[in-house]
C-alpha cells in the first residue's frame, strides 16, 4: 500500500523508526512507505476503519535483520504484527 504523506506522518507518530539504514534506503529507492526498526523492515496494510470511521492499518514485517549488527535484511513471508496504526489525522 502506498501511503499519502499524511498517512506516513501518522504512522511515524505511532511506530518507532530510527534506524541508520533509512537514509540509505531512501537514497536507493526514493521515499517509500516502508519502515525500518530494530526488528526489521515493515510496511502498512489497510485493515478497514476504526469505530470513529478513520482508516487504519496493520504493520506487517517483510524482512528481519540477519546479523547482530543489523547490516543485512533477510526477506521472509509477510508477518502481521500487533501494531495497528490510524492512517488519518485526528
pLDDT in tens, 31-76: 556 788 888 888 888 888 888 888 888 988 988 999 998 888 888 8
Helix (H, G, I), strand (E, B) or coil at 61: strand
* pLDDT value, residue 29: 52
Residues 6+ apart with CB under 8 A from 51: none
Amino acid at each position: 500500500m502506498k501511503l499519502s504523506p499524511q498517512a506516513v506522518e501518522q504512522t511515524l507518530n505511532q511506530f518507532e523508526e530510527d534506524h541508520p539504514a533509512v537514509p540509505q534506503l531512501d537514497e536507493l529507492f526514493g521515499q517509500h512507505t516502508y519502515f525500518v526498526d530494530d526488528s526489521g523492515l515493515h510496511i502498512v496494510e489497510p485493515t478497514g476503519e476504526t469505530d470513529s470511521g478513520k482508516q487504519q492499518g496493520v504493520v506487517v514485517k517483510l524482512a528481519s535483520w540477519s546479523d547482530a549488527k543489523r547490516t543485512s535484511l533477510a526477506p521472509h513471508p509477510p508477518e502481521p504484527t500487533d501494531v495497528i496504526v490510524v492512517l488519518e489525522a485526528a
